[in-house]
């Protein structure tokens, strides 16, 4: 049933970012544990069990929900870390788990049935048949939709399923079929879907060559930035390569998703929740982006068109796009 607003689901990579998100107006905050059970397994990031319990207390005391991302795929024969995470989350009082692995979904449905289960974007479920299968088999209450659907496609999908939908609203874009991309694995030998990080920092290098800044991932040169040009973190899909004598972004421009311009349409389509990306970013990013989207959603709830906030400072490449939501290509 469409409402007049969307639940604002915000990222937190550390307790400080968690507090910033809650204080800036998040309805829900999602985070991960300090291991490869989540897809933002960067060094120095994420929560210990104690920090997670403190964060849950902080959120619940302010009427905010806390979600735990367990969105990597379990290693064959070694499911213990993922199982323990489900058990601990249940004990801490986490409101919902975000999962993609069918084995883990089954474990959570069996061992912690009281906890809500959300289907991660890593499962890449974008058809009514796929979503219904996950709902019937594992009792998922919400699906996080891949960033490949237009607003009309989302609206149509919602009429054909009986569970909540969550869509991405801001942050890094992924043009691949999520959960199935092997480009980073090819370059580094580490899988984003298993080890929990796309372009692991241990394989990232920056070099200054004259006035240029060159970024590398493993043995691959990903980009070369001129003086004054905004640089970026090197991922294969956002690399600038030479092909047929022309240098260009072959797969995707380094641009941030920003859906403020289509918020009224997403609300009208019956979407339940809006997810902001960026657990790997600092608390200054969290505060700025969450505050901007809180204001935009509050404006949209009154029926007015929300003002596009200036978030260029924290955007990848300093540019924004509404991505596939306003798809002008086939």
Partner 1 sequence: MPPASLRAASLECENTPPNSLRDPPFSPILFAGFLARPLPLAPLNLLLSKAMRQMHARHTDVFERMQAVPNPAFLIVPTDLPFALVMRVNIDKPTLMAIRRTGGGPIAARLGTAATISGPFEVLLALLEGKIDGDALFFTRALSFSGDTEAVLALRNAVDGAEIDLARDAAHLLGPFARLAAPLGGFLNMLWRRSSADMAAVAASLTGGQQTRLRAQEDALEELTLKVRTLTKRSNRRQKQTQET
Least distance between partner 1 and beta carbon 218 (Å): 12
CB atoms within 10 A of CB 271: 25
- Cα–Cα dist 71/123, whole Å: 9
242 or 313: CB nearest partner 1:
313
Q: Which is nearer to partner 1, 219 or 313 (CB)?
A: 313
Question: Is the Cβ of residue 65 or residue 281 nearer to partner 1 in the bound state?
Answer: 281
Q: Which residues bind partner 1 (CB under 8 A)?
A: 13-17, 19, 42-45, 48, 51, 200-202, 204-206, 208, 210-211, 213, 227, 230-233, 281-285, 288, 313-314, 316
Q: Can you read off the two tokens belonging to residue 201?
A: 């920092």
The least CB distance from residue 17 to partner 1, in Å, is: 7
Q: Least distance in Å: CB of 28 to partner 1?
A: 20
In angstroms, give the least distance from the CB of 13 to partner 1: 7
Sign of the C-alpha dihedral, residues 20, 22, 25, 30?
A: positive
Q: Kindly tell me which of 53 and 102 has the beta carbon lying closer to partner 1.
A: 53
Cβ-based nearer residue to partner 1, 199 or 272:
199
Distance separating alpha carbons of residues 82 and 38, to the nearest angstrom: 9
For the bound state, the minimum distance from the C-beta of residue 231 to partner 1, rounded and expressed in Å, comes to: 5
C-alpha to C-alpha distance for 213 and 111, rounded to whole angstroms: 50
DSSP calls for 142-208: EEE--TT--HHHHHHHHHT-SSEEEEEEEE----S-TT---HHHHHHS--HHHHS-SS-GGGEEEEE
Q: How far is the CB of 51 from partner 1 (least distance, A)?
A: 8
CA–CA distance from 126 to each of 121, 147, 149, 207, 289 (Å)? 9, 9, 8, 40, 27
Least gap, CB of 284 to partner 1 (angstroms): 4
Which of 46, 126 has the CB closer to partner 1? 46
Using the structure block, give the residue that is written with the tokens 């920090």. Answer: 51
CA distance 298 to 26: 12
User: What is the C-alpha end-to-end distance of the chain, expressed in Å?
Assistant: 30
For the CA atoms of 311, 270, 95, 176, the dihedral, rounded to the nearest 10 degrees, stands at -60
Taking the complex as a whole, the smallest distance from the CB of residue 38 to partner 1 amounts, in Å, to: 14
Taking each helix axis from N to C terminus, what angle separates 15-23 and 283-301, rounded to the nearest 10 degrees?
20
Helix (H) or strand (E) holding 209: strand 204-209
- Of 166 and 316, nearer to partner 1 (C-beta) is 316
Choose between 129 and 313: whose C-beta lies nearer to partner 1: 313
Do residues 66 and 59 make contact, with C-beta atoms less than 8 angstroms apart? Answer: yes
- Under a CB-based contact definition with an 8 Å cutoff, are residues 168 and 278 in contact? no
């Amino acid at each position: 049933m469409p409402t007049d607003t969307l639940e604002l689901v915000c990222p937190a990579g550390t307790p400080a970012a968690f507090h910033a998100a809650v204080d800036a107006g998040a309805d829900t905050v999602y985070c991960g544990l300090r291991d490869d059970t989540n897809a933002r397994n960067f060094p120095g990031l994420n929560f210990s069990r104690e920090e997670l319990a403190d964060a849950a207390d902080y959120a619940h005391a302010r009427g905010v929900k806390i979600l735990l991302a367990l969105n990597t795929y379990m290693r064959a024969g070694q499911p213990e870390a993922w199982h323990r995470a489900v058990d601990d989350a249940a004990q801490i009082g986490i409101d919902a788990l975000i999962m993609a692995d069918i084995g883990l979904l089954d474990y959570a449905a069996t061992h912690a049935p009281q906890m809500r289960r959300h289907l991660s974007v890593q499962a890449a479920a974008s058809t009514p048949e796929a979503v219904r299968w996950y709902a019937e088999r594992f009792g998922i209450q919400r699906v996080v939709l891949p960033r490949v659907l237009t607003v009309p496609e989302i609206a149509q999908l919602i009429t054909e399923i009986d569970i909540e939908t969550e869509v991405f609203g801001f942050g890094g874009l992924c043009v691949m079929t999520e959960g199935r991309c092997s480009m980073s694995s090819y370059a580094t030998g580490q899988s984003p879907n298993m080890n929990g990080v796309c372009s692991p920092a241990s394989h990232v290098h920056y070099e200054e060559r004259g006035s240029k800044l060159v970024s590398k991932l493993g043995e691959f040169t990903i980009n070369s930035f001129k003086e004054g040009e905004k640089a970026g973190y090197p991922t294969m899909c956002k690399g600038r390569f030479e092909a047929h004598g022309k240098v260009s972004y072959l797969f995707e421009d380094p641009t941030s998703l920003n859906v403020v311009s289509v918020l009224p349409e997403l609300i009208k389509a019956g979407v339940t929740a809006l997810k902001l990306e960026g657990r790997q970013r600092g608390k200054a990013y969290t505060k700025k982006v969450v505050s901007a989207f809180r204001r935009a959603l509050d404006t949209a709830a009154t029926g007015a068109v929300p003002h596009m906030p200036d978030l260029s400072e924290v955007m990848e490449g300093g540019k924004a796009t509404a991505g596939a939501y306003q798809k002008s290509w086939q």
